[in-house]
Amino acid sequence: MVKVIQADLVNERGLRNVIDGEAELLLGFEFNIRGKLGTSLYAPFVSAIDRPGGKITMDIDPFVPTNMIAAPSGTTHYKIVSAGAEVDFEAEVFVVASAETAILPWDAALTAVVNHVHNVTPASTKPLFVALGIEFYQEVNGQMYSLKNGAFNPLALVKVSGL
């Protein structure tokens, strides 16, 4: 965030802000230092931002979980989560839409296609962000438990569109 604010060439030091900075510098930002998306999910994904239509999409073609997800020890299941966000830094408000798969087995069976669509304000002039993550679970006696209380669940910004 400091780099984004320092990219503001309009305002003087101490008055710089995100709006006049470069929100695109947040691309690749990892929300969890202990679980990084880039070292957890190897399945190719495509994210897109349709600013005029107000649609943010996240698509993942079928893949084999045990080959394409590096899961922490004890993992039996996982789910893929994504979100699209429109952030108005000046008014300090946001629009966010999220989606997730069901809890799926971490096995060698080919998955179904993942298609997440997130709606934000059509023709927005605010920065738009796409986040992608994985939650890991362990099944014990038919119950799903978040593995390590979520400590290793990665979440990262995979697409950013400033304006």
Work out the average pLDDT over 31-53.
Answer: 94
Average predicted confidence (pLDDT) for the chain = 89
Q: How confident is the model at residue 20 (pLDDT cuts 50, 70, 90)?
A: very low
How much is the pLDDT for 163? 72
Q: Is the dihedral of CA 70, 73, 76, 82 positive or negative?
A: negative
* Residue 71: band (very low, low, confident or very high) from pLDDT cuts 50, 70, 90: very high
Task: Show Cβ contacts of residue 140 under 8 Å, excluding neighbours closer than 6 positions.
Answer: none
pLDDT of residue 137: 95
pTM recorded for the entire structure: 0.87
- Provide the pLDDT for residue 34: 85
Residue 145 near residue 137, CB atoms below 8 Å: yes
Per-residue model confidence (pLDDT) at position 103? 97
